[in-house]
Amino acid sequence: MQKFLLIIFLTTTGLFYICINYSLPALASVACQSGTASYHSNNSLAECILSRNTEIRVNNSYFFCKEGQPIDFTEKGIFNGCVLSESIEIRRTGEVETCPINAKVSFSISEDGNQSIVCEV
């Protein structure tokens, strides 16, 4: 399993960029508002306020996270949730749920690898 974390500080714009490539399961590029980032005890990003709309891909799921709203990650750097800037469809066995704009979406993976996506309207 390959993991890497690339952090670039842009002091002239006051923005903090983090590019995360986590082979299983997340790929994300996050721009945080200056001074809003908080970290887990292992120094991985826990949460920040987004400075722009951001698309997060986890396996085959896409999440469109809203500028000016918090985004959070687990201690392992896995996307955990955000407020949506676009609606998404959550497909479950035999049904499709639409999670609307401005809803809070939460993502998790159990120890046995099962994904869970929860929409809070």
List average pLDDT for each run of 10 residues in the chain, which is 121 residues long.
40 45 51 96 96 93 97 94 97 93 96 92 92
Distance CA 76, CA 25 (A): 11
Distance CA 119, CA 103 (A): 7
Closest CA to 92 of 110, 121, 116: 116
Task: Tell me what pLDDT residue 8 has.
Answer: 39
